[in-house]
Amino acid sequence: MFWWPITNQEKGIIWLPQLNNAGEHINIVRALARKRAGMTRKDLLTTLKITSGGNLSNQLNELEESDFITYSVPFGKKQQERTYRLIDEYSLFYLTWIAKVPASVLTSGQHQYWIQKQHSPAWKAWAGYSFEGICLKHLENIKAALGISGINTIASSWAYRSTHRDEKGTQIDLVIDRSDRCINLCEMKYGNTSFTIDKTYAEVLKNKRAIFKEKTKTTKTIFMTLITVQGTNINPYYEALIDSQMTMDAFFEKAA
């Protein structure tokens, strides 16, 4: 596959494969970069103000084949309800940190600018989302680390939006639905140091598990899995809630 730089109306370039109507592909990438929870095909049609979806289907397929985007079917939903998300690391970096930055910042040698950004909520959100994308690219390695390489699985995401004020909603990054009547609910947490489950996050995990089990009506055995960069500290909250954990080291192991 041949790649070429596509110059757009803003400064800089985005690298895209040699595709027809690459400008429309860029619009899809930009839309997905703004909506990190992912977008359905219907969402994209509305956002891009497209009336006919035929070309969109082809463009989504091309971007998927080029590893710019991926999709998952939310747990319990149909294929038509698949959710797309941007997983190309450079595109996400460029659209987050370069396209929106004044040219004066990039050319004036303001070295402290990037250091300061590392402590901002925007940087933490971008890093966390990027880490999730990397995890999704290594599903086979995750399965191998869990010891379930030989089991048929379906990977998806899941979210529940509350409809009442006294009801809580939740979102689960990765659901691995297994043919052995088990489900791994996977949480992906980015950080420069080892992760610690505190009282607040323990309540979040409890709610995730309880809401998932209640709303999906599943009778399968549920395992909570934590995926981090530097590992998770063992404490009473961990022992009470987490069934398995792994670090990014698992991504460099050869999947079975």
Are 78 and 190 found together in one domain?
no
Whether the model pTM is above 0.75: yes
For residues 11 and 122, state if they share a domain: yes
Choose one of 97, 118, 133: the last residue of a domain: 133
172 shares a domain with 110: no
pLDDT in tens, 84-140: 999 999 999 989 888 877 777 767 666 677 777 888 898 999 999 999 999 999 999
Domain total in the chain: 2
124 and 25 in one domain?
A: yes
179 in the same domain as 101: no
Say whether both 150 and 186 belong to one domain: yes
Q: Which residues contact 196 (CB under 8 A, 6 or more apart)?
A: 232, 233, 235
What is the pLDDT confidence band of residue 10, given thresholds at 50, 70 and 90? very low
Given 109, 133, 157, the domain boundary residue is 133
Residues 7 and 112 in one domain: yes
- Per-residue pLDDT tens over the stretch 182-237: 999 999 999 989 999 999 999 999 999 999 999 999 999 999 999 999 999 999 99
- Asked if residue 200 and residue 239 are part of one domain, the reply reads yes
14 and 124 share a domain?
yes
One domain, residues 9 and 125: yes
Domain that holds residue 194: 139-252
- Is the same domain home to 49 and 66? yes
